[in-house]
Amino acid sequence: MVQLSMSPVKDVRRFLDTQGIEADLILVTRPDAGASGMMPVDAAVWEETVREFHRGFSAVQEERGAQRFHLFMSAPTVLAFAMGCTVSTQYDFHLYQWVPESGRYVEVIRGVTRDRLMRAP
């Protein structure tokens, strides 16, 4: 999970429990995002955030040998894109979007791998 605006912990845990998904939660935050969730407009801060995400992702993959990742992000689009650029698509990614109207997360992309993305529908 990546949190820069709203806190997803309670909702993510509820979703995982409801779906029967056993997973450890890792929460990535920015202490300087403040109550508003806004990050400073400073390229160095954004780049360091992406590096931190990548270090955390790599550590989980190395320590656990994880091949499947469920990502719930509450972060600016640009930051989410940059984070995505740092990880290989050889892993099985499941991506979730918060839907305010229903007050829950919905899986919007399932099993994102390089092979699946490059295959014609």
How far is the C-alpha of 8 from the C-alpha of 40, rounded, in Å? 21
DSSP state of 103: T
Share above pLDDT 70 across residues of the chain, in percent, rounded to a whole number:
76
* pTM listed for this prediction: 0.70
For the chain, the domains span 2-29+40-118
- Which parts of the chain are beta strand (E)? 2-3, 28-29, 68-74, 92-99, 104-112
More confident residue, 44 or 28: 44
pLDDT of residue 88: 65
**Please, what's the b/e burial string for 3-19 (b: 16 or more CB within 10 A of its CB; e: otherwise)?**
bbbeebeebbeebbeee
Least confident of 46-55, 61-70, 80-89: 80-89
Beta strand 28-29 with 2-3: parallel, antiparallel or unpaired? parallel
